[in-house]
Amino acid sequence: MRLPVPEVLLPADRLGRVHFIGIGGAGLSAIARIMAANGVPVTGSDDQDTPFLPALRELGVTCHLGYAAEHVADADTVVVTTAAREDNVEVVEARRLGLRLLPRSAGLAATMADKRVLAVAGTHGKTTTTGLLTSALLAAGADPTYAVGGVLTATGRNADAGSDDLFVAEADESDGAFLVYRPHAAIVTNVEADHLDNWGTEEAYHAAFDDFAATIDRAGFLVCCVDDPGAAALAASARADGLEVITVGEAAGSDLRIVDPEFAGSTSTSTIMQGGVELGRLSLGIPGRHYLLDAAAALAMGLRLGHSFDALAAGLAAFTGTGRRMELKGEAGGIRVYDSYAHHHVEIAGDLQAARSVVGDGRLVVAFQPHLVSRTRIFGAQMGQALGAADEVVVLDVYLAREDADPAVTGALVADAVPLPDECVAFVTDFDAAPAELVRRARPGDLVLTLGAGSVTALGPAVLSLLRERDA
């Protein structure tokens, strides 16, 4: 559901008791954690016991499983996930009681009062770049508040309330949330059409990023990864509008440039040049060219804020990833199992390229779950084409999330477009049958990769369990 952003955004300490509908999601759980850490009384509910909830419970936050009208009885403010339906019993009761209803964006903005916001936006790479920036700043001696769309493996959390005036925030464009935050500075990783269920057209989607750049403090700055045409166009228009812009990328002329990148196994390295001067060698413990670009953007922001290359580079080198971003789930029977959130064809291509450097001489066995009917309708064929970089592909049916099913839009749209021999591609409509199908196709030395923004993440542990049984 969509809620309007109030004209006057109150700081969190003036919201009273705050209840979160959908507290188990990445976005709302981060907001709830920051509010609770700052002394705001917080409760929440969700229909799933997600990995984000244990850290909230450790802070004393009551997290109900299941929705019930009585959960909002003591609340003054209710923050609602976009995935909630209008007939959600807690939404209905909150309206009946006349409670303040806020969308996720307004809830996050409430935690940003009196902070210098460093927003990370873009079609792809937001979560990883937000995590990289947070890791770099912490290593450089800063103590920012941060809100990330995934669990940082280094901390086991997706948010923390820091002691200084910086706030590192993942800024999501899917529902226009990133237009609310009024950042001091921002990173845009790339701009490539997505979420057209909300924006309608590719032109409107790109225009939203222009609007986002216009919200940046004129005394602040914008970092753009100009290897991406959409971000390069944004950089040019923002600079013409008088905003300071720092460009990063492999492209000649980038203000901060990655040179001679190398990829070996699960590592990525590159020389970093700035203004023709070599700053040093950057090494990452995560594989893939796109991650080097994300790290370069984080590095550029940290340098502009006055931190040293060595300290920032050490923080980037220590970054061990975020949950569901090329995350190693385990190994059994000589087969490694990874999981990734990639759900757009460009993200799929990037993660498969990274997986190739990890698997070496082995094969890539991929399970992909399309996310959203609208996205699958528009980009299903391109998703299938991107999956052609694998050796074996298992496509699941569409994860519906906030949309209703459409019998004309299924995972078959993706599977039929995979440019591999028929015997190398399977469309599996029974989710519970997918682990056995993956195990049947995998052999020692292979890498199994589960991809998608929905429930596909549950396949990894099931695959590992079957592999162990097979080898017992």
pLDDT per residue, tens digit, the chain (472 aa), is: 889 999 899 999 999 999 999 999 888 999 999 999 999 999 999 998 888 898 899 999 999 999 999 999 999 999 999 889 999 999 999 999 999 999 999 999 999 998 999 999 998 888 899 999 999 999 999 999 999 987 787 777 889 999 999 999 999 888 788 899 999 999 999 998 776 677 779 899 999 999 999 999 999 999 999 999 999 999 999 999 999 999 999 999 999 999 999 988 778 999 999 988 999 999 998 888 888 999 999 999 999 999 999 999 999 999 877 666 678 899 999 999 999 888 888 889 888 988 888 888 899 999 999 998 988 998 999 999 999 999 999 999 999 877 789 999 999 999 999 999 999 999 999 999 999 999 999 999 999 999 998 899 999 999 999 999 887 6
Q: Look at the block and give the residue holding tokens 């850490």.
A: 37
Annotated catalytic residues are 126-127, 170
CATH code that applies to domain 327-471 = 3.90.190.20
Task: Tell me if 376 is assigned to a ligand binding site.
Answer: no
Q: Concatenated DSSP letters for 179-196?
A: GSS--SEEEE-------H
Q: What is the pLDDT of residue 344?
A: 81
Any binding-site annotation on 429? no
Domain range 12-107, its CATH number among 3.40.1280.30, 3.40.30.10, 3.40.50.720, 3.90.79.10: 3.40.50.720
Distance between CA atoms of 346 and 123, rounded to whole angstroms? Answer: 9
Which CATH number describes the domain made up of 115-318? 3.40.1190.10
Question: Residue 44's beta-bridge partner residues?
Answer: 20, 63
Identify the CA nearest to 160 among candidates 186, 138, 177. Answer: 138
* Residues near 261 by beta carbon (within 8 Å), at least 6 away in sequence: 250, 268, 269, 270, 289, 292
Strand spans (E) along 228-312: 244-249, 256-264, 267-274, 277-284
DSSP assignment, residue 98? T
Type of residue found at 328:
L
Locate 401 and state its tokens. 């999330």
Measured CA to CA, the distance from residue 322 to residue 304 in angstroms comes to 24
What CA–CA distance (Å, rounded) separates 48 from 63?
10
pLDDT number for residue 173: 85
Q: Does 115 belong to an annotated binding site?
A: no
Query: Is the Cβ–Cβ distance between 288 and 354 less than 8 Å?
Result: yes
Contact indicator for 140, 312 with CB cutoff of 8 Å: yes
Take residue 18 and report the two structure tokens written for it: 């705050």
Q: How many residues does the chain have?
A: 472
Integer CA distances (angstroms), 159 to 52, 130, 148, 329, in order: 10, 11, 6, 22
What is d(CA 18, CA 343) in angstroms, rounded to the nearest whole number?
A: 32
CATH 3.40.1190.10 domain extents, the chain: 115-318
In 3D space, the residue among 127, 219, 235, 217 whose CA is nearest the CA of residue 172 turns out to be 127
**Any binding-site annotation on 329?**
no
Residue 141 counted as an annotated binding residue: no
Cβ-proximal residues to 469 (8 Å cutoff; 6+ apart), any chain: none
Q: E-assigned strands of 214-275?
A: 221-225, 244-249, 256-264, 267-274
Q: How far apart are CA 349 and CA 341, in angstroms?
A: 12
Provide the pLDDT for residue 194. 77
pLDDT, position 202: 86
Burial class (CB in 10 A: 0-12, 13-18, 19+), 89: middle
CB under 8 Å to 126, separation ≥6 — which residues?
A: 120, 149, 170, 171, 172, 189
* CATH 3.90.190.20 placement within the chain: 327-471
Scan for tokens 């419970």, then name that residue.
57
Q: Is the dihedral of CA 198, 204, 207, 211 positive or negative?
A: negative
Contact yes or no for 43/75 (Cβ under 8 A): yes
150 has binding-site annotation: no
CA distance 435 to 439: 6
Burial class of residue 360 (count of CB atoms within 10 Å of its CB; 0-12, 13-18, 19+)? exposed
Kindly report each contact of residues 58-62 with a partner whose C-beta sits within 8 Å and lies 24 or more positions away, as own/partner: 59/33, 60/36, 61/23, 61/32, 61/33, 61/36
Decide if 347 contacts 324 (C-beta within 8 A): no
Count CA within 13 A, CB hemisphere, residue 317. Answer: 13
pTM here is 0.80
Chain centroid to CA 414: 22
Question: In the chain, where does the domain assigned CATH 3.40.50.720 lie?
Answer: 12-107
